[in-house]
Amino acid sequence: MLKKILYLIAYTMVSAGACADTGDIKFSNNQIRVQAISTYVDYTETGNGTLGTKTGILDTESGPVGGFAVALSFMNNLLLKNDYLELNVDFSNGKTKYIGSYQGGTYGSVVTQSTATFHNFGGRYGTGFALKEHVMLTPYIELGKHQWYRGVNSGELYTHNYYGIGIMGQYSPIKKWVYSASFMYGSTFGSAITVNSGSTYSGFSGALGNSAKYKAGLSADYAISKEMHLNAGIEYVSFSYGMSGIYPIGGGYVAWEPDSKTNFTIFKLGLGSEF
C-alpha cells in the first residue's frame, strides 16, 4: 500500500512538472505583493584608536524589527523579450538590543534597548532567458536607497544609496509553484550620518565611507488563483560604513562616527495578486 501511495505522489509530481512552463514564472513576475517582514539586525561598531580612543568593538545592536513591504513586478516584451521590472519599498519600526558602554567605558558595561526605524527603496531592471520549459534566468541591474534611524544617544540617521548587478534564477517544477533565488553584488554611494544635538553638546552631519554591498535571497510563490498568491522568502543584506570626519561639538570636544558593519536577515510572508 505504501509503495502505491509513493508511486501515486511521484507520478502526480512528474505529471504536474511536465505541464509546468515559463508561463507560471511570467505570471508570478506580473504581480503586486504586500508582505509582513521581520528584519534581524546584526550591527557592530569598531574603533581604530583615533586620537587615542579605544580599538576593537565599541557597541553592537541585534534583534528582530517588524514591518511591512510592498513590491510591484512586471515581465513583458518592452524593449527586449521578457523585460523584467521590479519596484519595492519597505518600512520597519521597533527596538533592538544595544550592548556598549558610556564614553570611555568598557564594551558590555551598558546593556539596554534602542529604537530602530528602517526605510528601504529599490528598483530592478533585467531581461529573462528561458533555459528550459520551466526554468528562467534573469540578469538585472539594481538601484536603491537605505535609511536607518538609530535611537542611541539623542538619535542618529544613517543613509546610503547603492547600485549593483545581479542575477535571479526561477524554477517552476509544479503547476502554480515558482521558486526564486537571487544574488546581487554592488556598492554603496552617498553614505552619510546625521547626529542630533544633545543636552550638552551639538550634533553634526557628514559623509561616511562607502563599501561593497551584497544581497542574496530565496523565495517561493504559490498561485491559489490569479487574484491571490501566497509568497514567502528570506533575504540577506551586508554592507559597511567607513569612519566619518572629525567634528567640533562644543566645550572643546570633538566627535566622529567610527567604522561599522551591518548585516540584515529579512524574513517575508505575504499575499500577491496578478495583473
Distance (Å) of CA 209 to CA 84, 244, 259:
32, 7, 8
Q: Residue 89 belongs to a domain with what CATH number? A: 2.40.128.100
Mean of the per-residue pLDDT values of the chain = 91
Residue 251: inside a domain:
yes
pLDDT at 12 exceeding the cut of 70: no
Which domain does 189 fall in, by range? 22-274
Q: Which amino acid, residue 239?
A: F
User: Which run of H or E residues covers position 13?
Assistant: helix 2-19
- Inform me whether the pLDDT recorded for 80 exceeds 80: no
Residue 235 lies in a domain: yes
Listed in sequence order, the DSSP H helices in 36-78 are none
Evaluate if residue 5 carries a pLDDT over 90. Answer: no
218-231 residue pLDDT tens: 999 999 998 999 99
Asked if residue 255 is part of any domain, the answer here is: yes
Q: Does 198 map to a domain?
A: yes
As a whole number of angstroms, the distance between CA 233 and CA 37 comes to 9
62, 68, 69, 70: CA torsion to nearest 10: -170
Least confident range of 30-39, 70-79, 165-174: 70-79
- Could you report the per-residue pLDDT of 23-38, keeping only the tens digit for each? 899 999 999 999 999 9
- Greater confidence (19 vs 97) lies with 97
Cβ burial, residue 48 (10 Å; 0-12/13-18/19+): exposed
**Phi and psi, residue 176, nearest 5°:** 80, -10
How many domains in the chain?
1
Indicate whether 8 belongs to any domain: no
Backbone φ and ψ for 151, nearest 5 degrees, come out as -85, 5
87 domain residue, yes or no: yes
As separate numbers, helices (DSSP H) first and strands (DSSP E) second, the chain gives: 2, 14
